[in-house]
Structure 1
Amino acid sequence: MKNIILLCATVISFTATAQYDYEDSNMIGITGGINQMTMVSDGLQTKGGTGWNAGLSVRGNFYNNWDMVYAMQFSEYHFSVASTNAIGIPREADYTMSGGQVTLQFSYKIVPRHFSVEIGPAFHFQGKMDYDRQQKEDLVVGTPLTVEQLRDISKFNVSPVVGLTAGFLKFRANVSYQYGVLNTFERVNKNHGSHISAHPGVLNANLVFYL
């Protein structure tokens, strides 16, 4: 988490010093919103859930109708996995995945200050997933793993992000979609000899207030 904060501070400092020659000054934004995660997997039976986003961003002129947007976002994601208890009764294990991400997006201004389209990468950092510990020994359907064993996911992922932003100079709404390129459960596979493949697909809806 310290690395995320340091990277964001460096990016903000760079932008503030590098962009001053352009017509519009840089804008620092406070971001908040919701997300809908779907864990896309061919080996797990999953359902999506709704979480939240909060963070900071910097938007600055880049070239002609292009802006550059740097952002640091903290999020909580929710999804569930089909499982069975000790006597084989089916139920669901609800997981919570918390972490941060840093994004760098190119933003093309279709209508300057009012409507733009964004594209760029996001870099994710996350820890172990949380869940109801009463389901610790439940088995994950389609695998030999317990609900507890599934929680120690990979700590890093990278996603391409595409989005739309609309609004006014100081207040805008953003909708974006991102898809994790790396296997979320690669760490689980290495630790337990499993062969699970799953990638997070996240739809974000955020409001941005520029200072």
Structure 2
Amino acid sequence: MKKLVVLFVMISSVSLAQRGHKDSNRIGIGAGLTQMSIYTDNFSVTPEAGWIGGLSVRGNYYNNWQMSFGMFFTDSNFSIPSQNGLLQGKTMYKMSAVQIYIVPSYVAIEDHLNLEFGPVLQINGKLTIDKDDENNLLLDQPGLIAKDIVDVSKINANFYVGINGGIKNVRARIGYQYGLTNFFGNLKNNDNVKLLGEKMKGNIGLISGQITIYL
């Protein structure tokens, strides 16, 4: 993780050094909320609220195009129907991740509105759940319990589209990420999943809204 932070700072420094005299080249500090879902035929997933925050650099590139570099940390959540004894409810899953993106940005209205799109590299650990929920039976897959599906893919590629609008120093940023890789790819190594004889496949869907302050 330290190496990623150092790399981001180096990229930011180079960008600012090259374009430092133009107002549109700024470091931004942003934070906001997320709503995460998983597109899958294996489970009935309910999106849940989470948070996101981090640093970004927005710099001039060519004519009406800019380039954005960013590193964000997120705890995003979703839930799956489950049963504990005779009680039915849902199990909440949390994904803690760092996201790194380098995306082009079209200046629709100078100093006020940018349209953004591009790739996001996501590095995450295992999903986390409350200890009391680990043995909940998953209603969509009765052969599995909640802790059987926490070991998801650790490196994921997403595609981001969004808008960045407001005034020069304060912007609202609203975006959507779709996972291009199989988020449940690692589950093939779980013995209980193997017994099902069913392929686990899921793609991330992540909505985020942030307020970014540019320094």
Using structure 1 for the length normalisation, give the TM-score. 0.93
Give 1:208's match in structure 2, choosing from 200, 203, 212.
212
- Secondary structure of residue in 1 paired with 2:5: helix
- Offset at residue 86 of structure 1 (A): 4.3
Map 1:181-192 to 2 at 5 A. Answer: 181-192=180-191
Using the alignment, how far apart are the partners of 2:93 and 2:156 within structure 1? 18
Q: Residue 105 of structure 1 is aligned with which of 81, 103, 106?
A: 103
- Please give the alpha-carbon distance, in whole angstroms, between the structure 2 residues aligned to 1:186 and 1:141: 21
Match of 2:173 in 1: 174
Q: Deviations over 1:85-131 (max 9, x none)?
A: 345x4321111111110011111111111111001111101111111
Per mean C-alpha deviation after superposition, the further-off stretch among 22-31 and 37-46 is 22-31
Partner of residue 84, structure 2? 85
Corresponding residue for 2:159? Answer: 160
Alignment pair present for 1:135 and 2:145:
no
Q: Which residue of 1 aligns with 2:9?
A: 9
The answer to whether the Cα contact below 8 Å between 1:32 and 1:208 also exists between their aligned partners in 2 is yes
- In 1, the alpha carbon distance for the partners of 2:52 and 2:184 equals 23
- In the alignment, residue 119 of structure 2 is paired with which amino acid? P
Separation (CA, whole Å) in 2 of partners of 1:172 and 1:61 = 17
Which one of 72, 93, 96 corresponds to residue 95 of structure 1? 93
The root-mean-square deviation of aligned C-alpha atoms, in Å, is: 1.6
Identity of counterpart residues, as a percentage?
33
Q: Which residue of 2 aligns with 1:149?
A: 148
Could you tell me how far 1:203 is from its partner in structure 2? Answer: 0.7
Question: Secondary structure, in 3 states, of the residue corresponding to 2:210?
Answer: strand
- 1:13: how far off? 2.4
TM-score between the two structures when normalised by the length of structure 2: 0.91
The Cα of 1:8 is off from its aligned counterpart by 1.3
CA distance in 1 between counterparts of 2:7 and 2:189 reads 29
* Candidates 112, 123, 127, aligned match of 1:114: 112
Gaps of 5+ in 2: none
Give 3-state SS (helix, strand or coil) of 1:8's partner.
helix
Distance 2:23 2:213 in 1: 16
1:148 Cα offset (Å) = 1.0
Does the residue aligned with 1:174 lie in a helix, a strand or coil?
strand
3-state secondary structure, aligned to 1:128: coil
Corresponding residue of 2:70: 71
Secondary structure of 1:148 counterpart: helix
Instruction: Report if aligned partners of 2:34, 2:206 keep a CA contact under 8 Å in 1.
Output: yes
Dislocated runs of 4+, deviation >3 Å: 22-25
